[in-house]
Structure 1
Amino acid sequence: MKKLFQLLLIIGLVMTPFFTSAHVKWFTNVTPQKETIENILSPLFMGLSLAAAIVLALLTLVIPKTTDWAKIKKLDDWLSGFRKYSRYILKYGTAVALMIQVANGTLFAPEFQLSNTLAIILTWAAIGFLLIPHHISTKIAAVILLGLFVYVALYNGIFHMLDYGYYVAIIGVLLVGSTKFEKAGFPFLYLGTGLSLCWVAVEKWVYPSMSLDIVANHGVPTFGFAPAAFVVMAAFIEFIVGYLLVVGILNRVIGFVVTIIFITTTMLFGMTEVIGHFMIHIVLIIFIIEGVSFYNPPIKLHKTKTDQFVFVFLNFIFVLATFILIYYRFA
């Protein structure tokens, strides 16, 4: 039953709608129309919220037992052997991601056009410093990227830039390398990426018209569900993935499955998807390699299984409600 439960969970993630992890603003020109809060909190939404909270809470009872399986241990040991390369993957992966973006006249995301000459020069400077194999040059590149992120945020708004908050986490990891704060880098990356995924997911609930336009015009399969219900469920999958990264459950499995999903979206959305999500691929590869060995997730604050179950159940409902209220008010 344990194996069946995990298998069903993985299948559910794999069957996630192809545009689940896509930023809908990249693929539609529909004018955003904010849905009423009454329609957002539909019976379907409330039912899925309760079901998701229960399933996530049950994972606290099931997942720890899988760590004793021989095949899981063998896989963990094999992946752990690549941990020494994680920071290099992030450093040089960031440089490649920036090259792809600059070559297409954008920065951080396809929607942010790179037209300012100074910004272009600074971006290439950051790429150059990232390619130099020394931690001082890496820190210089991180400072430049932080300045560029602030520059883009000033023009587009801080709440818009929360979609790409994982870049702040990446910059943080690059800055603290080879310092006494180095161990805090990857936990910050987990937190930043998870919160970004949660934030982007809420967009599909608050502005469903954009997602519905993508479903209609890009041939996105809905697996027999009505498009409106499909959008709600897709957003839940993305929100759950982000939440699991934050609380520290199933990170290696999530990294692998979501990477497969991102690859499949390329078949639908093409080069725009590659430009926008290449950096996410790099981050997910790091998650697959690292697991949670260095991360003391919030769930570990509670020692008994009952306490962990209650914590995850209530915390998921609280986090979900908080994200919706903040996004609805400010985005």
Structure 2
Amino acid sequence: MFATLIEAALLSTMNARPADAHVKWFCAFDVAAQPRTLENVLCLDFELLLSLAAFSVLMACLAEPTALGHAATRAFDHVTMPLRLRTEEMIRAICGFFFISIGILGGFLLTPELKTTAPQVAVLQFAIAAGMLWRQTLPLSAAGIVVLFGIAVSNYGVFHLMDYPIFLGLAAYLALVGLQKNSLFGVSPIDVLRYATALTLMWASVEKWAYPQWSFPILIEHSIITLGFDSEFYMRAAGMVEFTLAFALLWTPLIRRCSAAILVVAFIAACFEFGKIDAVGHSAIIAALFAIACDDKAYARDRRVPWLAPIALCASLAATLLVYYLDHAVSFDTALL
């Protein structure tokens, strides 16, 4: 656990502002452009960073069942108990804030780069926010989120919206809570949201390797945050820590709670640097991360052999890279290697 915290402390310091501020909201980008080829992405620096990440995850898994891990779990339980008892209300309140805010700002569907000129979109956003007031109307709000997501897919394509499965996870959570369903195919509402959050961040991390040049203007403007590293290495490291922390959200209870807490700090730090657009745009994912950090439930399936963690991390990274590049190649006829 402490190895993970050491890695996260180093890399989230590097990652806090430009990496957690969604680059598409602040810089020019072209989703259809040729990404860095896998041959260029999988360089020596990438391999060294992955080795560090795998070692850190292994150390975290070894520490979790120890007395130190149990003490950390008790500390998490104590600190998060007030919010844990109000998780549903917290998510509903922040979602209400989010949809009211984007309705007032106007001109986009779910995030700032998903533009729209349709006036009825704001009406739907306000209606979604109003549905957060009562549990019985949460399924209607969930349906509204799915409608907005569908419009975005229609306008921008599936590949672009792969950045945002968090919204489908949020819709599923709200629908399940509103319908008083304890699970979706055996998965609890909070875990559905957790999986969607992890997938969102894992996909976003690949973007930092595929299109690091999108972030270079931000790094020039805020050069102090690179800690003296060159922009290329910084983006590789930022992507690796984001992927590792996202993967940790899928792992055992203490590891995923630690990861969620670290990510919350990083996202909130980014809001101070980038202002209201970043604060509003990331409010939903911050709510999800708070909920994950507070979740004290543990299941039999959470018991895993520690040495499986680095293998699973590498396998998840390879699968995400492959799906990202294959999806892009199919969508835009670009090269893989």
When normalised by structure 2's length, the TM-score is 0.86
Deviation at 1:139, TM superposition (A): 1.1
Give the distance between the partners of 2:75 and 2:208, measured in 1 at CA: 39
Quote the residue 2:131 is aligned against.
129
Give the distance between the partners of 1:269 and 1:37, measured in 2 at CA: 31
Quickly say closer, same or farther: Cα 1:50–1:8, change in 2 above 3 A: closer
Q: Say yes or no: does 1:154 pair with 2:154.
A: yes
Give the distance between the partners of 2:74 and 2:285, measured in 1 at CA: 26
Quickly say closer, same or farther: Cα 1:208–1:142, change in 2 above 3 A: same
Give the distance between the partners of 2:309 and 2:260, measured in 1 at CA: 20
Deviation at 1:244, TM superposition (A): 0.4
> 1:131-179, CA deviations, whole angstroms, 9 ceiling, x for partnerless residues?
2x2x221111111211121111111112211211111111111111112
Quickly say closer, same or farther: Cα 1:74–1:262, change in 2 above 3 A: closer
Give the distance between the partners of 2:222 and 2:36, measured in 1 at CA: 22
Which consecutive unaligned segments of at least 5 residues does structure 1 have?
303-307
Which consecutive unaligned segments of at least 5 residues does structure 2 have?
329-337
Give the distance between the partners of 1:321 and 1:90, measured in 2 at CA: 32
Query: Which of 2, 8, 11 matches 2:9?
Result: 11
More deviation in 31-40 or 137-146?
31-40
Quote the residue 2:286 is aligned against.
281
Quickly say closer, same or farther: Cα 1:255–1:180, change in 2 above 3 A: closer
Quickly say closer, same or farther: Cα 1:75–1:245, change in 2 above 3 A: closer
Q: Say yes or no: does 1:118 pair with 2:123.
A: no
Quote the residue 2:19 is aligned against.
20
Deviation at 1:97, TM superposition (A): 0.7
Quickly say closer, same or farther: Cα 1:296–1:142, change in 2 above 3 A: farther
Quickly say closer, same or farther: Cα 1:233–1:59, change in 2 above 3 A: same
Give the distance between the partners of 2:119 and 2:8, measured in 1 at CA: 46
Deviation at 1:9, TM superposition (A): 4.2
Q: Say yes or no: does 1:329 pair with 2:326.
A: yes
CA contact (8 A) 2:248 2:255 kept: yes
Q: Equivalent residues in 2 for 1:255-294 (5 A)?
A: 255-291=260-296, 293-294=297-298
> What root-mean-square deviation, in Å, do the aligned CA atoms of Structure 1 and Structure 2 show?
2.3
Deviation at 1:276, TM superposition (A): 1.4
Deviation at 1:74, TM superposition (A): 4.4
Q: Residue type of the partner of 1:269?
A: F
Deviation at 1:115, TM superposition (A): 2.1
Q: Residue type of the partner of 1:60?
A: C
CA contact (8 A) 1:218 1:268 kept: no
Quickly say closer, same or farther: Cα 1:42–1:96, change in 2 above 3 A: same
SS in 1 for 2:113: strand
Quote the residue 1:225 is aligned against.
229
Give the distance between the partners of 1:7 and 1:176, measured in 2 at CA: 33
Give the distance between the partners of 1:30 and 1:118, measured in 2 at CA: 27
CA contact (8 A) 2:21 2:271 kept: no
The number of equivalent residue pairs is 318
Quote the residue 2:333 is aligned against.
none
Quickly say closer, same or farther: Cα 1:296–1:151, change in 2 above 3 A: farther
Quickly say closer, same or farther: Cα 1:323–1:6, change in 2 above 3 A: closer
Give the distance between the partners of 1:164 and 1:295, measured in 2 at CA: 27
Q: Residue type of the partner of 1:12?
A: L
Q: Say yes or no: does 1:208 pair with 2:187.
A: no
Q: Residue type of the partner of 2:159?
A: F
Deviation at 1:261, TM superposition (A): 1.4
CA contact (8 A) 1:169 1:193 kept: yes
Q: Say yes or no: does 1:318 pair with 2:333.
A: no
Deviation at 1:186, TM superposition (A): 0.5
Q: Residue type of the partner of 1:246?
A: L
SS in 2 for 1:225: coil
Give the distance between the partners of 1:98 and 1:181, measured in 2 at CA: 26
> 1:203-228, CA deviations, whole angstroms, 9 ceiling, x for partnerless residues?
01011111223212344521121111
Give the distance between the partners of 2:4 and 2:20, measured in 1 at CA: 22
Give the distance between the partners of 2:42 and 2:13, measured in 1 at CA: 24
Deviation at 1:44, TM superposition (A): 0.7
Give the distance between the partners of 1:163 and 1:16, measured in 2 at CA: 22
CA contact (8 A) 1:187 1:295 kept: no
Give the distance between the partners of 2:91 and 2:20, measured in 1 at CA: 20
Q: Equivalent residues in 2 for 1:192-203 (5 A)?
A: 192-203=196-207
Runs of 4+ in 1 over 3 A off after TM superposition: 30-33, 217-220, 294-297
Deviation at 1:108, TM superposition (A): 1.6
CA contact (8 A) 2:36 2:210 kept: yes
Identity %: 23
CA contact (8 A) 1:176 1:185 kept: yes
Q: Say yes or no: does 1:108 pair with 2:110.
A: yes
CA contact (8 A) 1:202 1:324 kept: yes
Deviation at 1:14, TM superposition (A): 4.4
More deviation in 163-172 or 150-159?
150-159
Quote the residue 1:68 is aligned against.
70
